[in-house]
Amino acid sequence: MPAERFYYPHSLGKEDNIVLEDQEFHHLVNVMRNRLDDIIEVINGIGQIANARLSSIEKKRALLTVETVFTEEPSKLKLILAQAIPRLNRLETILEKCTELGMTEIWLFPGAHSEKKEFSENQLERLQHILISATKQCGRLFLPKLISMPPIKKWQTFPIPAFFGDVEPEAPLLEDIWKHHFEAEAYEALMCIGPESGFNDEEIALLKKFGAEGVSLHRNILRTDTAAIASLALLSHWMMKAK
């Protein structure tokens, strides 16, 4: 469990003066109750973590001075979740847990059976905040990218090994397909998960056309959030073993 961390979405350099505002300021002052001269950890979501000294607390912002910076090299692992928009409470769980599991990108798209087709600006801000919080909590230094995608019919051929959750009885296990075909190049993967009512026939045909393979995750039919978390847990485990 890392020390309490704070998010600053800009480059970090030694002796830089940085400002925390809004939710980060509130958490620093009112939740953690940090005081002047405290040393806190700051991440920027692009591979840097800094130790910074709290130098000033104003009415709506805090000023910090960076003392040390560590920069992590980007990983060659690429783990994308293409998630048809589910109900918001399920999506929040997906974002949090899949960030912990190493998701590098999440594509959100309106599925044919999605009850919700788009997000308001406030909702997108909420989703981004969940990604930031999960990144800080789990000790990651890279923030997953949140990408809004069009419906599947406007997609193109997948550039990396791709799969989709398939509930047909004859669908092969994800483990069997992965280990037979992709284990030697196990650094990139994309998993497509449908909304609460799954993909329709047209979407399944398009996913296959674009190069995705239908796979089974369990003998039972999984809810959309369970399917997303289970599939990323498996893929991230295999990819880390290959690393």
pLDDT of residue 179: 82
- Angle made by CA atoms 175, 179, 185, in degrees to the nearest 5: 125
Domain 5-71 and domain 78-242 have a common topology = no
pLDDT in tens, 137-146: 999 999 999 9
**Tokens coding 91:** 């999506």
Domain 78-242 superfamily per CATH = SPOUT methyltransferase, trefoil knot domain (3.40.1280.10)
- In angstroms, the CA 219 to CA 207 distance is 22
5-71 CATH pick, 2.40.240.20, 2.60.120.560, 3.40.50.720, 3.40.50.300? 2.40.240.20
Q: Where are the beta strands (DSSP E) in 38-109?
A: 39-43, 48-57, 61-71, 78-84, 105-109
pLDDT in tens, 68-99: 999 999 988 999 999 999 999 999 999 999 99
Domain layout of the chain by residue ranges? 5-71, 78-242
Average pLDDT of the chain to the nearest whole number: 94
Amino acid of residue 146: L
Number of Cβ within a 10 Å radius of residue 137: 15
pTM of the full predicted structure? 0.93
Task: State the pLDDT confidence band at 178, using cuts at 50, 70 and 90.
Answer: confident
